[in-house]
Structure 1
Amino acid sequence: MFTVSRAEQAVTVVLGAVAALSPIWVAHSNRALWTLVVLGVLIALAGLSQMADRAAAWTGRALGVLGVLMFISPWVMNFHAYNNASWVAWIVGALTVVVALAEMPEVAGRFGAAAH
Structure 2
Amino acid sequence: MFTESRIQGAVAVILGAVAALSPLWVTVNDNARLSLIVLGVLVALTGLAHLAKRAGIMADYAMALFGVLMVVSPWVMGFDGLSGAAWTAWVVGALTVVVAVTALPQVSGRLHTATHH
Give the structure-1-normalised TM-score.
0.93
Q: Could you give the per-residue CA deviations for residues 72-112 of structure 1, whole angstroms, max 9, x where no partner exists?
A: 00000000010000000000000000000000001001112
Q: Which residue is 1:18 aligned to?
A: 18
**C-alpha distance in structure 2 between counterparts of 1:30 and 1:55, whole Å:** 31
5+ long unaligned stretches in structure 2: none
5+ long unaligned stretches in structure 1: none
Residue correspondences, number: 113
Q: Give the AA of the match of 2:83.
A: N
Moved more, 55-64 or 71-80: 55-64
Q: Which residue is 1:80 aligned to?
A: 80
Q: Which residue is 1:96 aligned to?
A: 96
Q: In 1, are the aligned partners of 2:20 and 2:37 still within 8 Å (CA)?
A: yes
**C-alpha distance in structure 2 between counterparts of 1:44 and 1:31, whole Å:** 20
Aligned counterparts, 1:6-45, within 5 A: 6-45=6-45
Q: Give the AA of the match of 2:61.
A: R
Q: Could you give the per-residue CA deviations for residues 34-54 of structure 1, whole angstroms, max 9, x where no partner exists?
A: 110000001000110122135
Secondary structure in 2 aligned to 1:80?
coil
Q: Which residue is 2:67 aligned to?
A: 67
Q: Could you give the per-residue CA deviations for residues 20-74 of structure 1, whole angstroms, max 9, x where no partner exists?
A: 0000000011110111000000100011012213551110000000000000000
Q: In 1, are the aligned partners of 2:5 and 2:50 still within 8 Å (CA)?
A: no
Once the two structures are aligned, what percentage of the paired residues are identical? 54
Q: Give the AA of the match of 1:103.
A: A
**C-alpha distance in structure 1 between counterparts of 2:10 and 2:99, whole Å:** 10
Kindly tell me: are residues 45 and 23 of structure 1, through their superposed partners in 2, closer, same or farther at Cα, counting changes over 3 Å? Answer: same
**C-alpha distance in structure 1 between counterparts of 2:88 and 2:20, whole Å:** 10
RMSD: 1.1
